Amino acid sequence: MKIAVIGGGPGGYVAAIKAAMMGADVTLIEKNKVGGTCLNVGCIPTKALLACSELLMGIKEAKNYGINIDGEVKADFAAIMDRKDKIVNQLIKGIEFLFDKKGVKLVNGLGRLLDKNKIEVFKEDGSKEIIEADKIILATGSVPIVPPIFPYDGEKVITSDEALNLCEIPKSMIIVGGGVIGCEFGQFFRTLGTEVTIVEMADQVLPFEDKDVAKQLQRAFKKDKIKLLTRNKIQSCEIKEGKVVANLESGKSVEADIMLVSVGRKPYLENLGIEKLGIKLERGKIVVNEKMETNIEGIYAIGDIVDSPFLAHVASKEGMIAVENALGKDKNINYTAIPRCVYTEPEVACVGLTEKQAQEKGIEYKVGQFEFRGLGKAQAIGKFQGFIKVLADKEGKVIGASIVGPHATDLLSELTLAVHLGLTVEQVGDVIHPHPTLSEGLMEALHDVDDKCIHSIGKVKAKA
């Protein structure tokens, strides 16, 4: 069985390796570097930058731990960017190494569908190559959205792509959008000394999470002296005398050296040839069934080009599901328990339903919550802002969770498993958690759903 994959991001390259491991003859077509947005201009490089700013924050707070640091502590921006590039390049080589060992053929170029079994590849040197395949998987990813009111030039008005390749620390920055990208870049540049203003249309950052979750992050932003303008919309924008000026609907204006537009991403489907084949689209995304197959038999689509969350781990899972079905298996994808992570300080990690969603769906639920400050490990490491919140339905089944605090993104996996498997708070809460750890907070929050939390006063009960 010959399988061709167009796009080498976290969906495409995982699909290619999976297919090769299952015995297929696999060709992957990628116009740039393997790894896609996630590895090259997304998840990995931003986390590399945030690791540097987190360490800088830690050094500046060293006196709180009884450690005195003499002399000036400052960021070497060129070295930070160089470290980021080295990490990215190392991981790209890692994927290419896996391709070589697993037998995946990598073809560099722009792939376009000719029919359901043929792809024309346009290479950088001007040559063309025809790839034939029994099954095709489309995984071309997404690009940043830049509304026309912004005078995008890649220098003064930029997207996350350009932000990852700046040559110097900007003195001031306007960030349009208080979602994941805006929050992460905002805190990174603020830690390095940039004056940051975040403009968000909604009444909170992370608009799709619960208010108590956003409130914790906004507290940190206030401490960091990040200016946050919620319930604000930019009416017009211009570059004037070397500055970016944003005029708000409220009548106010904000000025900065650079503007970062981070209002979302859109599927990248240009020159893919889907119209020619009659592949069905809805709202700019490819329509697929639960097998990840399009309306054209034998052609599958995954990742940011289909109607599912724009997340690397979702694309990877969809890639594996598509491959298994392409090779004769019968697999469906389950979107019930998708982790949502923000790598700020404090970290934010959520899964399943929020309280707002549960209310909108008319689901009866109970809440269990535990503050990190109640944990000995959190006190010992000096990171105790935030909480763990668990939502359970009336039968006690875990239907959602939110964590704001240290290592939230790592801690979430246990609760993700609970949501995915439909476990109850009693089943998961009965597990012995090691002490002293941050994971004890999960147990405490699970116990708190039924007011059985030991290290919380809970509801005061009358004595018999």
Considering the domain 340-448, what is its CATH architecture? Answer: 2-Layer Sandwich (3.30)
Q: Domain 157-263 classified CATH 3.40.50.10420?
A: no
184 is in an annotated binding site: yes
pLDDT in tens for each of the 464 residues of the chain?
A: 999 999 999 999 999 999 999 999 999 999 999 999 999 999 999 999 999 999 999 999 999 999 999 988 999 999 999 999 999 999 999 999 999 999 999 999 999 999 999 999 999 999 999 999 999 999 999 999 999 999 999 999 999 999 999 999 999 999 999 999 999 999 999 999 999 999 999 999 999 999 999 999 999 999 999 999 999 999 999 999 999 999 999 999 999 999 999 999 999 999 999 999 999 999 999 999 999 999 999 999 999 999 999 999 999 999 999 999 999 999 999 999 999 999 999 999 999 999 999 999 999 999 999 999 999 999 999 999 999 999 999 999 999 999 999 999 999 999 999 999 999 999 999 999 999 999 999 999 999 999 999 998 875 443 43
Closest by alpha carbon to 379, among 444, 436, 443, 434?
A: 436
Active site residues: 435
7 is in an annotated binding site: no
Same fold, 157-263 and 340-448: no
CA-based torsion, 185, 190, 195, 201: positive or negative: positive
> Peptide bond before 309: cis, by omega within 30 degrees of 0?
no
- Pure H helices in 33-150: 36-41, 43-60, 77-102
244 is in an annotated binding site: no
Please give the model's pTM, rounded to 2 decimal places: 0.96
Cβ–Cβ contacts within 10 Å for residue 435, how many?
Answer: 11
110-144 burial by CB neighbour count: b if 16+ within 10 A, else e? Answer: bbbbeebbebbbbeeeeeeeebebebbbbbbbbbb
Sheet holding 118-122, edge to edge: 110-115, 118-122, 128-132
Q: Cα dist. 167→64, 170, 415 in Å? A: 33, 9, 40
- 296 - beta bridge partners? none
111 is in an annotated binding site: yes
What residue segments make up the domains of the chain, in order of their start? 2-144+266-326, 157-263, 340-448
Rounded to an integer, what distance in angstroms lies between the CA atom of residue 145 and that of residue 51? 26
264 is in an annotated binding site: yes
E-state strands within 318-417? 340-342, 347-352, 365-371, 387-393, 398-405
Rounded to an integer, what distance in angstroms lies between the CA atom of residue 184 and that of residue 346? 11
Half-sphere exposure of 253 (CA within 13 A, CB side): 12
Fold of the domain spanning 2-144+266-326: FAD/NAD(P)-binding domain (3.50.50)
Rounded to an integer, what distance in angstroms lies between the CA atom of residue 223 and that of residue 356? 27
200 is in an annotated binding site: yes
Question: Residue 268 contacts by C-beta under 8 Å, 6 or more apart in sequence?
Answer: 140, 141, 142, 143, 304, 305
Token pair, residue 373, equals 């400050």
DSSP 63: G
pLDDT at 405: 98
**Does residue 117 sit in helix, strand or coil?**
coil
Q: Dump pLDDT digits (tens) for 403-426.
A: 999 999 999 999 999 999 999 999
Rounded to an integer, what distance in angstroms lies between the CA atom of residue 13 and that of residue 21? 12
- 352 - beta bridge partners? 400
Per the listing, tokens 């439909």 go with: 422
